[in-house]
Structure 1
Amino acid sequence: MIKVVCAIIENEGTVLITQRSSRMAQPLLWEFPGGKVEVGESEVEALIREIQEELNLLIVPRERLTPVLHYYSSRAIELIPYTCSLQNGNILLAEHQAYSWASLDVLANYSWCPADIPIVEEYLHLKRSQL
């Protein structure tokens, strides 16, 4: 089981999502950005590092949502989402093909990586219950 963290980066009523490149597994699907937790690293440390490396952004993780266990054909992952606020930085894509600041009303319309779908659903439910 590979432990992976992902960031739901909120900014002015939108959420940052990234599109995987054609060279990556799950090519061209959308996901919340993040990456693997390294040995000796906390989830929060991994999330801050991964977002800095992949997107050149500084974030502040806030709330841990429900982890998702997902079984791909070649491996199993535990995807651990955190809502985050954007501290600063200008997006520079290191691995992804594209990004979008998506509003809540269109978030479900993207072609998501399978492991991210339950996170999108939980996040939208959480946000709608706060209205």
Structure 2
Amino acid sequence: MLKVTCAIIELHGKVLVTQRSEFMREPLLWEFPGGKLEQGETEEACLVREVYEELNIHVRPLKRLTPVMHQTKNHLIELIPHICTYVGGVIHLLEHIAFEWVDPSALQKYNWCLPDVPVVEEYLRLKKMT
């Protein structure tokens, strides 16, 4: 099983969403940024590292949400979401092709990677938007 974290990054009432490139698995779909947990690494450290590696920004994890189990052709993935706050830095895309800061009420309009769908739904319930 692969353990993967994702960051729901909040800033001034908006949430950061990223679009996968055409060269990634699940091309052009939207997701919350994150990545694979390394051996011995905490979820929070993974989020901070992965977001910095992918987007060149610093975040601080605040709240863990419910993990999502997702079966692909080759792997069982446990996606571990955390609400995070933006700390600093300027976004520079290294893997994704686009990003947007969006109002949470607009999140359901995006074409999400399947594992992210329940994360969006839980986040909106927490924000009382569903």
Q: With the length of structure 1 as denominator, give the TM-score of the two structures.
A: 0.96
Inter-partner Cα distance in structure 2 for 1:46 and 1:65: 15
Once the two structures are superposed, residues 48-96 of structure 1 have per-residue CA deviations (whole angstroms, 9 ceiling, x without a partner) of 0000100001101000000000011222100000000000000000100
Match of 1:118 in 2: 118
Identity %: 54
Partner of 1:82: 82
For the pair 1:37 / 2:33, whether they are aligned, the reply is no
In the alignment, the residues of structure 2 paired with residue 64 and residue 103 of structure 1 have an alpha-carbon distance, to the nearest angstrom, of 20
RMSD across aligned positions (CA): 0.8
Report the number of matched residues.
129
Please name the residue that 2:3 is paired with.
3
Q: Which residue of 1 aligns with 2:73?
A: 73
Q: Is the deviation greater in 1-10 or in 99-108? A: 99-108
What is aligned with 2:93? 93
Displaced runs of 4 or more, over 3 A: none
Unaligned runs of 5+ in 2: none
Letter aligned with residue 99 of structure 1: F
Q: Mind listing any 5+ residue stretches in structure 1 that lack a counterpart?
A: none
Amino acid at match of 2:80: I
Distance 2:48 2:16 in 1: 15
